[in-house]
Amino acid sequence: MESISVLDMFKIGVGPSSSHTLGPWKACLKFTDRLGGNIENVKRLEVQLYGSLAKTGVGHGTDVAVMLGLTGFDPETFDTEYIDSTVGGIRAEKKLHLNRTVWIRFNPDTCIHFLKNEMLPYHPNAMRFLCELEKGSLIRETYYSVGGGFVVQEDDDELSETEHVALDYPVESASDLARWCRQTGLPISGVVLENEKAWRSEEDTRNSVLKIWEVMRDCIYKGCHTDGYLPGGLQVMRRASILNNRMMGDKPYRDYETWRRAIRDGGEGFDYILDWVSCFALAVNEQNASFRRVVTAPTNGAAGVIPAVLQYLVTFRENHCADMVFRFLCTASEIGTIFKKRATISAAMGGCQAEIGVSSAMAAAGLTECLGGSVPQCLMAAEIAMEHHLGMTCDPIGGLVQVPCIERNTMGAIKAITASQLALYSDPDKAKVSLDAVVKTMWETAQDMNSKYKETSDGGLAVNIPISLSEC
């Protein structure tokens, strides 16, 4: 049984895409690491991108991720302010400092190949490294970016990305999770915390999860205070800062905490709260679209849903408290792992239901636990949230993670809150659809979905909204 930690589900990285940016970046790090001593003898290096990675790779920044990954930068810590200058330098000089060890000739125009009409069998997001060494030998390695920043190397199985760890309470399905909660008397977050002890101490887990929240809220705050247009040529204007300015008016604040309190004290009407939830989600995804630091939750395209719902919780429903944040994220994470194990969190496999749908289900469960819901109500909230995302396609205009992606996060957040409210007032024993049934349905829907709606920009809005190629 696959064991996935909360820190696997929530990864600190760089936008705009977990599968097309973070995954390829990590594949490059893995590849250069595996080169070992051979790195000194690299004569020529080419990277081939297949399937969805090729079709939407330019808009999703896959080429940028390849260059930064091959240079050996860590996506969690690399200062995103330097992305343009670093990549611009490689393009201009046509050389790359491989793993910051040896300089090689590398012209991105001729060394990164977007093979739009070719697919590899295991997964639509495939990439292959062809590396020629000085004495003529060739190293060829293939990797798959399987969604959410998880990477698999060919011939490995999927667990190669996550450690094989024996957990006290292994969970493969929602019914497993419910059973463990019943047997131990723990909430979902309690079961997660017990399992996380297999990886690290409770204190380390708590600190790491709170660090995740710190990055999320920093992203919200920065996004609410950055204006202008998003990169990529679609001329999409940032709206979070406009909304923030309109709603804050001249209320004074100086940092995140004073801003949060000013929002909380500023009103409680339906429109007011709705606008703020939208604003939080827009803020994250505008940062994501701008190649800024975000948390994969469980993907980058859907990175705004969970922070927006958690920000809603700590602003409008409860006082900010570390333990509540921890419980929210642990519960949300466990729901995400069930979708990853039994269906997919990759849009290239399942369309947008696998991204926004899963993030909404995760957020709904986290919110429900923090608002005092029982375990069956948490599972019911996750089920409701996914049920109303079934069949949602992925059709990003211009291959950019902007339209419809950014607004879609606002919808995912609001659906999560609605799902939680419905579950809190419902009797789960009377529910017609279980979470396991909806996970199965989502996976079957994914398999039936036409490939043009799976992160290829070959269908949907991507072909019906005319854009000038010169603009993109």
Rounded to whole angstroms, the Cα distance separating 125 from 116 reads 11
| CB neighbourhood size of 97 (10 A) | 17
Closest distance of CB 386 from ligand SF4, Å:
14
Q: Which is nearer to ligand SF4, 59 or 376 (CB)?
A: 59
Which H helix or E strand runs over 104? strand 102-105
Among 55, 327, 389, 408, interactor with ligand SF4 by CB under 6 A = 408
User: What's 1's DSSP letter?
Assistant: -
Residue number of the CB closest to ligand SF4 reads 301
Q: Which is nearer to ligand SF4, 169 or 291 (CB)?
A: 291
Q: Which is nearer to ligand SF4, 53 or 380 (CB)?
A: 53
Tallying the residues shown for the chain, one arrives at 472
Q: Which is nearer to ligand SF4, 187 or 396 (CB)?
A: 396
Q: Which is nearer to ligand SF4, 102 or 463 (CB)?
A: 463
Q: Measured at the alpha carbon of residue 136, what is the angle toward residues 135 and 139, in degrees to the nearest 5?
A: 110
279 to 308, contacts with ligand SF4 by CB under 6 A?
301-302
Backbone angles phi, psi at 411, to 5 degrees: -65, -40
- Give residue for tokens 């194990």: 341
Binding residues for ligand SF4, rule CB under 6 A, total 13
Closest distance of CB 68 from ligand SF4, Å:
20
Rounded to whole angstroms, the Cα distance separating 49 from 115 reads 6
Beta pairing, strands 112-115 & 42-50: parallel
Q: Could you tell me the maximum CA-CA distance found in the chain, to the nearest angstrom?
A: 71
Rounded to whole angstroms, the Cα distance separating 240 from 237 reads 9
Rounded to whole angstroms, the Cα distance separating 245 from 338 reads 39
Binding mask of the shown chain, residues 373 to 402, with x at each position contacting ligand SF4 by CB under 6 A: ---------------------x-x----x-
Q: Which is nearer to ligand SF4, 7 or 305 (CB)?
A: 305
Task: Indicate whether 356 belongs to the interface with ligand SF4 (CB under 6 A).
Answer: yes
Task: Indicate whether 355 belongs to the interface with ligand SF4 (CB under 6 A).
Answer: yes
Dihedral (Cα; 271, 277, 281, 287), 10-degree rounding: 90
Closest distance of CB 465 from ligand SF4, Å:
13
Closest distance of CB 282 from ligand SF4, Å:
13
Closest distance of CB 30 from ligand SF4, Å:
24
Q: Where do contacts with ligand SF4 occur on this chain (CB under 6 A)?
A: 301-302, 347, 352, 355-356, 394, 396, 401, 404-405, 408, 455
